[in-house]
Structure 1
Amino acid sequence: MAPALWPCVSRILWLACLLPLAPAGVAAGLYELQLTTDSPVTTGAEVTITASLVASDNGSLVLPTNIHFYRFHWIHTPLLLTGKTDEAFSSTIRAVGNEPGDFPVSVWVTAANCWMCQPVARSLLVPSITELLVGNLVVTQNSSLPWPSSYLAKTVLKISFLLHDPSNFFKTASFLYSWDFGDGTQMVTGDAMVYYNYPIIGNFTVKLKVVAEWEQATLDAGKSITQKTGDFSASLKLHETLQGIQVSGPTQIESFQKMTVTLNFLGSPPLTVCWRLKHECLPLEEGECHPVPVANTAYNLTHVFRDPGDYCFSIRAENVISKTHQYHRIQVWPSSMQPAVFAFPCATIITMILALIMYVSLRNAHQKDVAEVADFDFSPMSDKNPEPPTGVKCCCQMCCGPFLLETPSEYLEVVREHHRLLPPLYKSVKTYTV
């Protein structure tokens, strides 16, 4: 009978041994480990690493309520373990690194009563250990700007150094701070915070060198001075707000005259300027005018008014940190002179009319002189008449006589001298007496 019962008893004992494995097998793949650390830290200071067991689907699974249900296993060599704290679903260790470098730390979770079971979750983290001080520079200002590392010039800046020392390793150290503001100004302080005002705009880099010293016990019961240093920097972009726009230009002008208005910007050179001519001084809406890039603090506007009336220049300027509006009224009067576009045709017409009048007058005078010459009775030229003129005078008289001679009588005299006498219309008949 006993040999027959032994297989049953052994099967029951085998199932009893498998019962502790059931939760781990079911939980495998349903959870994950999240690791956090406060590294980097300096050599000799404690680094803290925390592992938290969470549901892999963002918390939809309910974790067991038994705080002893899981166990966390750590591998942290060569870091020296200085402390360990376990909670229900998290574990935290504290370790010290005496050499600089990056050291991997791994952790996995198993069932509390089954060390050899498959891990529920595992993870890896690489904390950093350095020989230098760890910290960063923080720059603040009362007026915050929406651009990274951008601040207002001529406004006080607060620059602070924040030491990263989570384990309070430097609690007995004394610090010395050497500042370089990038504009030629340097100073040394014993305080980790300074106030500085940049008087000009531009890009600057603040540099800080920190020295920490403290006494440390030696192996021979003595004391020695230990020193650590660190170099830090921060980039700054200093801007100046637009305080306004000064407009220089006429307030009255005649139509069809070119007008120039000069804009002087009180502040950093704006990135864009736009303007529009209106009958009333109203601010410009977005997209109402075409922006023009401007790289200087002055800009000239030119415009020609064609219609008289009252107008207003609406001007908007903006840089990377601010914007401003300005207006300039101007009264346009009717022009006292006709525009050239109308004056030229009128002058052409008048010139043609005058030319026509002169042509008609000269033509009538010429016809009258010809008629008087035709009615004049020519007589033969005597031998005493002077010989015809020669050279230029002759040519001029022949070609331009009617126009250059002073009187008609002078013209007739030239005709007598240069034209042959007409032959008689009849021949003389001799008569003979018988």
Structure 2
Amino acid sequence: MAPALRPRLGRILWLACLLPLAPARVAAGLYELQLTTDGPATTGAEVTITASLVADDNGSLALPASTHLYRFHWIHTPLLLTGKEDEAFSSTIRVVGSVPGDFPISVWVTAADCGMCQPVARSLLILPITEFLVGNLVVTQNTSLPWPSSYLTKTVLKVSFLLHDPSNFFKNASFLYSWDFGDGTQMVTRDGTIYYNYSIIGSFIVKVKVVAGWEQVTSDAGKGILQKTGDFSASLKLQETLRGIQVLGPTQIQTFQKMVVTLNFLGSPPLNVCWRLKPECLPLEEGECHPVSVDSTAYNLTHIFRDPGDYCFSIQAENVISKTHQYHKIQVWPSSIQPAVFAFPCATIISMMLAFIMYMTLRSAAHQKDMVENPEPPTGVRCCCQMCCGPFLLETRSEYLEVVRENHGLLPPLYKSVKTYTV
């Protein structure tokens, strides 16, 4: 009987060992770990990392009431641990890096009384450590523009270097700032905030080199000067407000003539240009015309009028800073020359008629010339007709004599003149 009880006793003991693990197994997959840090940091500075256990479905699942149900496990080597604080559902550590690099920090949560059990949740982050200063270069202006990194010319800019030092590592350091504004201006200050005014439009890169120095006690009870540096920059796009539009073009034109109007914009591109032809000079309504993108300060507008009358060009332009509009009146007169689309067919028909008339005229003249130069038929026919048929074809003697005279020229008289003498 004893051998039969042994398997039962083993199963009972196994179930007893699993009871403490029940809450953790129930909670597995229901929670997640959220990691936050105040890094990146420079070598030697302290970095704080916090892990918080939260419900996986955005907080709708209530956390257990017991505050000692879970335990946080960290892996942070080779970073040096300088402090740790555990709360009910969060844990915070502070570490220091002595060499630069990207270091993985991992953490997981298990049941408080079973460190080798399946984790309830786990998470990982990469902590960057650098040997240079950490910070940002911030540019601000009183006027806010909708375009990123865009600012107004001839308006003061505030440029500030903001050091990232949550552990107050540089509390005893002194700083030196070397500024380069990208337009040929350079200066050195001891203040991390400077005011500058750009007088021209364009894209610029403002740079600053920061040097931090402080005294530190060395291992041989002496004092040494330590330094850390950092290079920072920010891109700027300086623009001008759109002060107006200069319109260069005719004020009178004839129909079916191509009109070119040049628009000169008194402001900085890029621009959205919109225009419409109206009978009166009225502002453009929303969606009344489609804008055209213009990347320069000049734009040529072309149009052909088909009907005479008085017209007005309503022109609108805007950049990321401001908007303006302009009008241009023009009178259109009827054209004295027919449009080419109608003139070409007419000219073709007239040319064909003239060519036909000239052909008929030349043909008639050639026929008449042949009749004058060759009034008689060929020689054989002529001889035959004159000698054989001529006398029969001529109706009267006078006609016959006329033909003979034409053919033989001057003939001797048919009778001799009688001389009379008077005695």
Does residue 19 of structure 2 align to residue 32 of structure 1? no
Does residue 268 of structure 2 align to residue 268 of structure 1? yes
Alignment of 1:240-255 (within 5 A): 240-251=240-251
Cross-structure match for 1:238? 238
Tell me which moved more, 213-222 or 288-297: 288-297
Structure 2 CA distance for partners of 1:151 and 1:425, relative to 1, 3 Å:
farther
Cross-structure match for 1:63? 63
Tell me which moved more, 241-250 or 155-164: 241-250
Equivalent residues of 2:161, 2:193 under 8 A apart: yes
Tell me which moved more, 249-258 or 72-81: 249-258
Does residue 415 of structure 2 align to residue 428 of structure 1? yes
Cross-structure match for 1:339? 337
- Return the letter of the residue paired with 2:25: G
* CA deviation profile, 1:3-43 (whole Å, cap 9, x unmatched): 99999888766544432111112222222222222221011
Cross-structure match for 1:279? 279
Cross-structure match for 1:179? 179
* CA deviation profile, 1:287-341 (whole Å, cap 9, x unmatched): 6546555454334445554544321111123345544321122344567xx3356
Equivalent residues of 1:175, 1:213 under 8 A apart: yes
Partner of 1:103, secondary structure, is: strand
* CA deviation profile, 1:273-298 (whole Å, cap 9, x unmatched): 34332102233356654655545433
Cross-structure match for 1:201? 201
Query: Taking every aligned residue pair, what percent have the same amino acid on both sides?
Result: 78
Partner of 1:22, secondary structure, is: helix
C-alpha distance in structure 2 between counterparts of 1:256 and 1:102, whole Å = 72
Equivalent residues of 2:146, 2:320 under 8 A apart: no
TM-score by length of 1: 0.72
Cα distance, 1:213 vs. partner?
A: 1.0
Equivalent residues of 2:137, 2:161 under 8 A apart: yes
Equivalent residues of 1:33, 1:123 under 8 A apart: yes
Structure 2 CA distance for partners of 1:102 and 1:430, relative to 1, 3 Å:
closer
Cross-structure match for 1:22? 22
Alignment of 1:34-433 (within 5 A): 34-251=34-251, 260-285=260-285, 288-289=288-289, 294-303=294-303, 305-332=305-332, 338-339=336-337, 427-428=414-415
Structure 2 CA distance for partners of 1:425 and 1:23, relative to 1, 3 Å:
farther
Partner of 1:88, secondary structure, is: coil
Structure 2 CA distance for partners of 1:262 and 1:52, relative to 1, 3 Å:
same
C-alpha distance in structure 1 between counterparts of 2:129 and 2:52, whole Å = 23
* CA deviation profile, 1:200-254 (whole Å, cap 9, x unmatched): 2222111110011111122233322111111111112222232211224454556
C-alpha distance in structure 2 between counterparts of 1:76 and 1:306, whole Å = 81
Equivalent residues of 2:243, 2:324 under 8 A apart: yes
C-alpha distance in structure 1 between counterparts of 2:234 and 2:166, whole Å = 23
Structure 2 CA distance for partners of 1:421 and 1:261, relative to 1, 3 Å:
farther
Cross-structure match for 2:382? none
Tell me which moved more, 266-275 or 214-223: 266-275
C-alpha distance in structure 1 between counterparts of 2:44 and 2:415, whole Å = 159
Cross-structure match for 1:413? none
C-alpha distance in structure 2 between counterparts of 1:15 and 1:186, whole Å = 77
Equivalent residues of 1:272, 1:294 under 8 A apart: yes
Count residues in correspondence: 364
Partner of 1:127, secondary structure, is: strand
- Return the letter of the residue paired with 1:105: I
- Return the letter of the residue paired with 2:112: A
Tell me which moved more, 253-262 or 4-13: 4-13
What 5-or-longer segments of structure 1 have no aligned partner?
A: 360-418
Cα distance, 1:120 vs. partner?
A: 1.5
C-alpha distance in structure 2 between counterparts of 1:4 and 1:421, whole Å = 173
Equivalent residues of 1:177, 1:188 under 8 A apart: yes
Structure 2 CA distance for partners of 1:61 and 1:252, relative to 1, 3 Å:
same
- Return the letter of the residue paired with 1:81: L
Structure 2 CA distance for partners of 1:303 and 1:425, relative to 1, 3 Å:
farther
Partner of 2:25, secondary structure, is: helix
Cα distance, 1:71 vs. partner?
A: 0.8
- Return the letter of the residue paired with 1:75: I
C-alpha distance in structure 2 between counterparts of 1:21 and 1:269, whole Å = 69
Tell me which moved more, 230-239 or 301-310: 301-310
Tell me which moved more, 287-296 or 100-109: 287-296
Structure 2 CA distance for partners of 1:27 and 1:425, relative to 1, 3 Å:
farther
* CA deviation profile, 1:124-155 (whole Å, cap 9, x unmatched): 22212111100111122233333332223333
C-alpha distance in structure 2 between counterparts of 1:259 and 1:19, whole Å = 93
C-alpha distance in structure 1 between counterparts of 2:258 and 2:122, whole Å = 80
